[in-house]
A and B are shown apart, each in its own frame.
Chain A
Amino acid sequence: MAENSDKNAYWAANKRIIGISLVIWFICSFGFGILLRPMLSGIKVGGTDLGFWFAQQGSILVFLVLIFTYAAKMNKLDKKYGVDE
């Protein structure tokens, strides 16, 4: 990949994927787990509320999905731009 425009497009695509991932990352941890917990208190999960579940379990599961999705999407992107190894 010699073209500068290609490099820029690759980097912009990477940043877009990161941006979307981090929005989800934020909503599922800081959002549902802390800031929005009072709003979600009506939704009951196993003897407590949804916010508690996200804070102690759900957020971690979302993090796992996010990293593996990111890795898979980036592998595709690497191939598309011919920068894979």
Chain B
Amino acid sequence: MDQFTLNLLVVGATFALYIGIAIWARAGSTSEFYAAGRGVHPVINGMATGADWMSAASFISMAGIISFGGYNTSAYLMGWTGGYVLLAMLIAPYLRKFGKFTVPEFIGDRFYSQTARTVAVICLITASLTYVIGQMTGVGVAFSRFLEVDKTTGLLIGAAIVFFYAVIGGMKGITYTQVAQYVVLILAYTIPAIFISLKLTGNPLPPLGLFSDHVGSGAPILETLNGMLQDLGFTEYTKQTDTTLNMFLFTVSLMIGTAGLPHVIVRFFTVPTVAAARSSAGWALVFIALLYLTAPAVGAMARVNLIDTVYPNGTTEAPLAYEQRPDWVKNWEQTGLLGFDDKNGDGLINYTGSAETNEFSVNRDIITLANPEIANLPGWVIALVAAGGLAAALSTAAGLLMAISSAVSHDLIKSQINPSISEKGELLSARISMAVAIVIATYLGLNPPGFAAQTVALAFGLAASSIFPALLMGIFSTRINNKGAVAGMIAGLLVTLVYIFLHKGWFFIPGTNSFTDADPLLLSIKSTSFGSIGALVNFVVAYVVSNASDEPPVEIRELVESVRIPSGAGTAVDH
């Protein structure tokens, strides 16, 4: 069977599975549509959260980012996992106790302010929509490389699948498809990694392999890699080149951004109790850690494999002749993600760390996708990686679309436009919002705006600087009032946005930036790291304004005290 047929079969089988689950898990009430009826087992919710959280960026891009950035990229590993500690202790249990359907709803009720709720809705929609564009383009890339259809067709097929199970099943359908998608994506990620770890280090567990000896050289693999990179004029893999300040702040931003991303928080509304919300955050991290502990091993080993391919006789000998390049190089050259430019005309692939002499350009995104081919793994593994990339992108897209549609139908339509809407009417409007959100996301995926690549800075900046501090203060302080919260959120949001715009261009229009991340405005703080500073501004402003104005009313104090006590979460379901 040829590779194309194999890809088609594996991807087709996973898609059939998702559709089957959607038909089985139809949503009949708003509680089922928004919160899967609050009956999801904490382990199952943990698995669904894993798929919800791990996007095309985690699956496709992260190993590549680590592979080419080495130690400096540890911020992603610590930030995107450490946020779950904050979520488990500071956010999820209390919002579950609150017992309603959306994150803006908590902010609006706790700060007795429609303005606060609206600011939260705007942050949520902006962050989620930028994020979802990345998923849609990821679907397009995976389709065009593995199923030989053009990107537009691929994207439309993906959108149709999401449309089907998200509109019919709501949170309930999304939860159970995410569980299936998690299984597909984690198998697709770990199986090639195990093969590669065995081949390079003899250790079948990639996280242990990363710190084991290299089979070829007998020295530890990281030492071998450092040596290879030094020979070729690259920065050593384990060396820090980013400033400590920026790395610290970037990690903070990713962590608090993770704990403030609404599409992740709402997953914890689906479990039956507060205790289940706490343990479910732990299970989510177990399932996420399986990938995040594998990714650094994949990153380092892929780099070794790549250099070994180009320098088959060692980095001190002559590189491979272009004419003798393996098939996988030819395959990926066609996508434009690999390139060769014979600058010195010797017909050899000179891969070096200097811009003048390097002749081999490798796009970071191919590290995960090309890994099985680089390591000569069987065809079914390649097909599985294709299905895994699609599962990662589709599961995150569905979670984001869910957050957007519930914000529109619950926080805008039900709360502000038509409060007397019946449950049936709200369910219908939730489905229509979902359908509209998918159409917009598909359109933006086909015509990505210039800022699509700035997803990390924008989504995490917004969540870190506005939503996370508001939630934290709403739970841990009884003194922060409506004025303080609104002023804090707007201040945090504005300084973060302005800092991002100053470095990335106003509204991401190229050329309108006054600074660059290489030479930033404040010390060495890059725009991607500024969410942490925005959060600090939010806290300070909220504190000062609250203390200068009236205390919150007595019923708000009672609300805060009630979310701090776990008992009664089950009865707070309907409202």
Contact = CB atoms under 8 A, between A and B. Distances in A.
Interface in B52-82: 71, 74, 77-78, 81-82
B567 A25 contact: no
A71 B351 CA distance: 50
A34 B286 CA distance: 23
Contacts, number: 140
B89 A52 contact: no
B406 to A, nearest CB: 25
B222 interface: yes
Contacts of A75: 275
Interface residues of A, number: 42
A84 B74 contact: no
A61 B240 CA distance: 22
A61 B82 CA distance: 10
A53 B85 CA distance: 19
A61 to B, nearest CB: 8
A18 B90 contact: yes
Contact of B88 (A10, A11, A55, A71): A71
A34 B248 contact: yes
A70 B223 contact: no
Contacts of B238: 48-49, 52
Interface string B267-293: 000000111001101100110010011
Which of the four size classes fits the interface of chain B?
Answer: 35 or more
A1 interface: yes
B570 A59 contact: no
Contact of A52 (B71, B82, B275): B71
B88 A34 contact: no
B288 to A, nearest CB: 9
B244 interface: yes
A11 B564 contact: yes
A82 B296 CA distance: 44
Q: Is the interface of B mostly helix, strand, loop or mixed?
A: helix
B211 A63 contact: no
Interface string A1-15: 100000100110010
B39 interface: no
Give the residue among A10, A46, A53, A66 with the most B Cβ atoms within 10 A.
Answer: A46
B565 interface: yes
B210 interface: yes
Contacts of B296: 56-57
A33 to B, nearest CB: 6
Nearest to A66: B85
A57 to B, nearest CB: 6
A85 B81 contact: no
Given A57-B207, A71-B282, A48 B275 contact: no
B74 A33 contact: yes
Contacts of B213: 47
A37 to B, nearest CB: 7
Contacts of B210: 46, 56-57
A68 B279 contact: yes
B282 A29 contact: no
B211 A21 contact: no
A84 B570 CA distance: 11
B212 interface: yes
A34 B248 CA distance: 7
B561 interface: yes
A35 interface: yes
B307 interface: no
Contacts of B221: 47
A35 B207 contact: no
Given A30-B248, A47-B221, A74-B275, A85 B569 contact: yes
Contacts of A67: 84-85, 88-89, 278, 281-282, 285
B284 to A, nearest CB: 9
B295 to A, nearest CB: 9
Given A46-B222, A56-B296, 13 more contacts: A7-B565, A29-B251, A34-B251, A35-B244, A37-B240, A47-B211, A48-B222, A48-B238, A52-B222, A60-B81, A64-B282, A70-B88, A78-B275
27 contacts: A7-B565, A10-B565, A18-B89, A30-B252, A34-B247, A34-B251, A35-B244, A35-B248, A47-B213, A52-B74, A52-B238, A59-B81, A60-B77, A60-B78, A63-B85, A64-B286, A67-B278, A70-B89, A71-B275, A71-B282, A74-B93, A74-B275, A83-B566, A85-B275, A85-B567, A85-B568, A85-B569
Interface of B: 71, 74, 77-78, 81-82, 84-85, 88-90, 93, 207, 210-213, 219-224, 226, 238, 240, 244, 247-248, 251-252, 273-275, 278-279, 281-282, 285-286, 289, 292-293, 296, 561, 564-570
